Amino acid sequence: MLNIEKYGAVDIGSNAIRLLVVTVIEQEGKETIFKKTSLVRVPIRLGAEVFLDGKISENSANRMVDAMMAFKLLMKTHNVKRFRACATSAMREAANGREIAETIEKKSGIFINIIDGNDEAAIIASTDLKSLIQDDRVFLYVDVGGGSTEITLFANGKDVTSQSFKLGTIRLLENLVDEGIWEAMESWIKKETKGFKKVSLIGSGGNINTIYKKSRKKIGKPLSYLYLSSYYEQLNSLTFEERITELDMNPDRADVVVPATRIYLSAMKWSKAKNVFVPKIGLSDGIVRSLYNEKIAAELEVNS
């Protein structure tokens, strides 16, 4: 007997807004299956405004309202039973972030949870990421967004420590990252990985997913430091327009992919990691898994 429900996750990032619909299939006596059913991405660059002007413009706010109303209709059409919306650094730092969130809730019925970097890392850690972390290996999980980078160190099958840095692709494009931020991240990574002989990276985010897809690697196989550094050189040798036409990238990906690759390479260099695994797991997946875990916890409480 199968129990099938659809869950929705809205991720309001600094570079784009996403709606992920997942079909959750419960099997008696077997592991629950989480099947990605639909993903809609709208490139509203909130970070470009917030990190420069401190607030979200009226035009972007209206686009957000439209997107959320569309997402609400899509979830209704998909017959989504549970959903949650989370916003990260751009809305968190916007002076009018909470005001816009209230407007969105009034017009669409979607309440937006504005979370901090530690919450984001914790939500992502609730995903299938745990199944990838072998007890005898050390992994540095690096999630690069438009406004910040979340890093978690996993050792002995458990997360050891996490840190969020205001180092994101949009901030770098707008020259809003002080050299001290780079130094702080370098110092933290070197300090936390110092006692481990061999560290591998786990990369998360749209940019590393794009690079992995274009590498044509078999699922589960990592990208090497050599490959990523070579790709970075190729990206830098091309203009923005050439990345769109020659590498077949979307315009909203063709610029941010360069600073994102720099962040991943820096993390690999400082942790002495030779490989980066790309499981295609992010905040949206974590939101769905959190919703499911809450459902299971509530059922256990009722039956206890």
Question: Measured in Å, how far apart are the chain's first and last C-alpha atoms?
Answer: 23
Q: Token pair 């990838």 is at which residue?
A: 132
Task: Assess contact for 276 and 202: CB atoms under 8 A.
Answer: yes
Note the pTM of the prediction, 2 decimals.
0.88
Determine the average pLDDT of the residues in 196-210: 92
Q: Which amino acid is at 187?
A: S
Q: Give tens-digit pLDDT for 226-274.
A: 999 999 999 999 999 999 999 999 999 999 999 999 999 999 999 999 9
Domains of the chain plus CATH, in order, are: 2-116 (3.30.420.40), 128-281 (3.30.420.150)
In the three-class reduction of DSSP (H, G, I as helix; E, B as strand; rest coil), residue 220 is classed as coil
Asked if 266 contacts 181 with a C-beta cutoff of 8 angstroms, the reply is no
pLDDT at 128: 64
